[in-house]
Amino acid sequence: MSMTVVGGIVFSVFLMILLFVRGENIKRELKRANSKLESASRQKTHLGGIVMELAKEEQLMLKERMARIQTANTPNERFVVCTRLLIDASDSVISDAALGNRTVKKAFEYYISHFSDIPFTEFKAVILQEKKRQQLWAGDNIHAYLELCKSCISAIE
């Protein structure tokens, strides 16, 4: 055999070994990345559960406050109805938002379109008249949603 053939074979074997080692390194990196991804996913689910529990505690307090309010003396009955809807939807909205299924706005829009007689446009016109409530609605997170509920209850009280 000539030297160029032997050199070509040696180079090919060297290249195959190099590619094999490189492939094994990439496979190990992929396993580490998958492990980190699974860990992050478990942590996200755990933290979502904690957020949901804390938000539900806040929601229970809001429901109790709403139950204590006497609506008979309220001049704006539509506002009270929309506030009650906002609080009733909080279970569904908090769950969807904490688990990452929907944003707060999308979860509320879904709730109102499927479980309420009040159109979403009317809800927005009644509830979002004040600048503070508009800002809370624009926040589009669980904390801002709960603060919006508090703001509406305070306006009724």
Residues 105-115: pLDDT tens digits?
Answer: 999 999 999 98
Give the N- to C-terminal CA distance of the chain in Å, as an integer: 99
What's the CA gap between 149 and 14, in Å, rounded?
69
The three state secondary structure string of 26-39 is HHHHHHHHHHHHHH
What's the CA gap between 153 and 82, in Å, rounded?
11
Q: Is residue 154 over pLDDT 70?
A: yes
Put residue 118 in one of left, alpha, beta given phi > 0 → left and psi -120 to 50 → alpha: beta
What's the CA gap between 99 and 87, in Å, rounded?
19
Task: For residues 133-149, give the mean pLDDT.
Answer: 91
pLDDT at 73: 60
Q: Hunting for tokens 């009644």 — which residue is that?
A: 126
How do residues 36-53 score in pLDDT, each as one tens digit? 999 988 888 888 788 888
Residue 93 structure tokens: 């909205």
Q: Which helix (H) or strand (E) holds 71?
A: none
In this structure, are residues 127 and 86 in contact, taking their beta carbons and an 8 Å threshold? yes
- Average pLDDT over the chain reads 86
What's the CA gap between 141 and 100, in Å, rounded?
11
| Band (69; pLDDT cuts 50, 70, 90) | confident
**Of the ranges 23-37, 61-75, 76-90, 94-108, which one carries the lowest mean pLDDT score?**
61-75
| Band (72; pLDDT cuts 50, 70, 90) | low
Q: What is the pTM of this model?
A: 0.69
Q: Within the chain, where are the H helices?
A: 3-68, 77-88, 90-98, 104-115, 120-127, 131-139, 142-156
